[in-house]
Amino acid sequence: MQTFLLGQTGIEIDPFILGGNVFGWTIDQEMSFKVLDGFLEAGFHWIDTADCYFKFAAGKKGGESEEILGTWMKERRNRDSVFIATKGGVEMAPGKKGLSRAYLMEAVEASLRRLQTDYIDLYWMHAWDMISPVEEVVASLDMLVRAGKIRYYGFSDVPAWYAARAYTLAEQQGRERIIALQLEYSLIERNIEREHVPAAQELGIGICPWSPLAGGLLSGKYKREGQSGAPQGRIDIAKATGNTLLDRTSERAWNILDVLLEVAKEIGRPPAEVAMNWVATRPGVTSTILGATKLAQLESSLSSLEFSIPAELGARLGNAGELGPAQPYEFFKPLLQARIKGEVEIRPWAKSASA
């Protein structure tokens, strides 16, 4: 099992992180414990959750996932054996939201209580709030690291320019720097390839994709004619609530799914495993967040790196969901670069030594 360092740190991170957004939502505490036990028994250690999981479901207050995870760690006495990542910034109660210093300090303390621990290994800014000054956010997170409340921090769902500005400010001011980005990435959702992946590679920031199965569409259980009956996945739930964030059932998405099913059949692996493999082995990706509501699902996801996708089939998958033309990115492709720099190949210094 190949592993990587997380950003510019000395921390070794597993190729997969267990997502805790289902704990206390689509699975109860008993099944959550089984999935967590199975994850550790398979040799993995990173678990990701958030303070708001799952505030947005009927009858939920938020924090249920953290509470289940905290109870599990206490009962198993395994806090030193796991790496815990959680998030803050989504509104938990009136007046308690965003990324201001006042709220971040309170949110971290609340997460520590629910998790029944005195430190968080990796703390994510859940999403850009478009309000709090980036200088304040960086200073607050630096303060939390120095206070021992969190060990490292990362950003989830932010513009690439925001992450780069935060990194540069922290570097210039001698503060703790962002080490990772958590962003949606799959065969269907590939927009981070335009800006986020190059920025992360340039700055030495790890990328931890969420929703590698595009909300479940790439699992193979959805059919082009649609699902019937009660909601059975995040796509169904998103449709029922009117939330378009996780609705990936466009014509383009169905076409990508058709190619995935063909490739999976040729390889002889489930489509979910092929889709997970594709994301986990993409440039810039450090570790991929997976979800599981049953042990069989967990075992299948963890098996998705036990094979390699042949180059020709990988190209078919990549071409199926390739991003369309967009400005100014067309200027960075070979045709226009040849006009800008001439026909002579100019290679970056970092790549010339091994030529």
pLDDT tens, position by position, 100-141: 999 999 999 999 999 999 999 999 999 999 999 999 999 999
Higher pLDDT, 332 or 279: 279
Q: Which residue has the tokens 């805790």?
A: 20
**Is it the case that residue 152 has pLDDT exceeding 70?**
yes
The number of beta carbons lying within 10 Å of the beta carbon of residue 312 is 9
Q: What pLDDT was estimated at residue 175?
A: 98
What is the DSSP track for 39-91?
A: HHHTT--EEE--TTTTTTSTT--S-HHHHHHHHHHHHHT-GGG-EEEEEE-S-
**Is it the case that residue 352 has pLDDT exceeding 50?**
no
SS3 content of the chain, % helix, strand, coil (to 5): 45, 15, 40
Q: What is the pLDDT of residues 238-296, one digit of tens each?
A: 566 566 666 677 899 999 999 999 999 999 999 999 999 999 999 999 999 999 999 99
Q: Which two tokens stand for residue 318?
A: 């990549």
Q: What pLDDT was estimated at residue 238?
A: 59
Q: What pLDDT was estimated at residue 353?
A: 44
Average pLDDT, the chain: 91
Query: Are 215 and 188 spatial neighbours (Cβ–Cβ below 8 Å)?
Result: no
Query: What is the β-pairing status of strands 206-210 and 46-48?
Result: unpaired
Higher pLDDT, 285 or 343: 285
Q: Which two tokens stand for residue 59?
A: 């009858």
Distance between CA atoms of residues 192 and 175, nearest Å: 26
Q: Which two tokens stand for residue 159?
A: 């513009």
4-327: CATH homologous superfamily? NADP-dependent oxidoreductase domain (3.20.20.100)
Q: What pLDDT was estimated at residue 339?
A: 87
**Is it the case that residue 355 has pLDDT exceeding 60?**
no
Residues labelled catalytic:
53
How many Å is the Cα radius of gyration of the chain? 21
Q: What pLDDT was estimated at residue 271?
A: 97
Average pLDDT over residues 67-76: 98
Distance between CA atoms of residues 48 and 6, nearest Å: 14
Higher pLDDT, 5 or 56: 5
Q: What pLDDT was estimated at residue 3?
A: 84
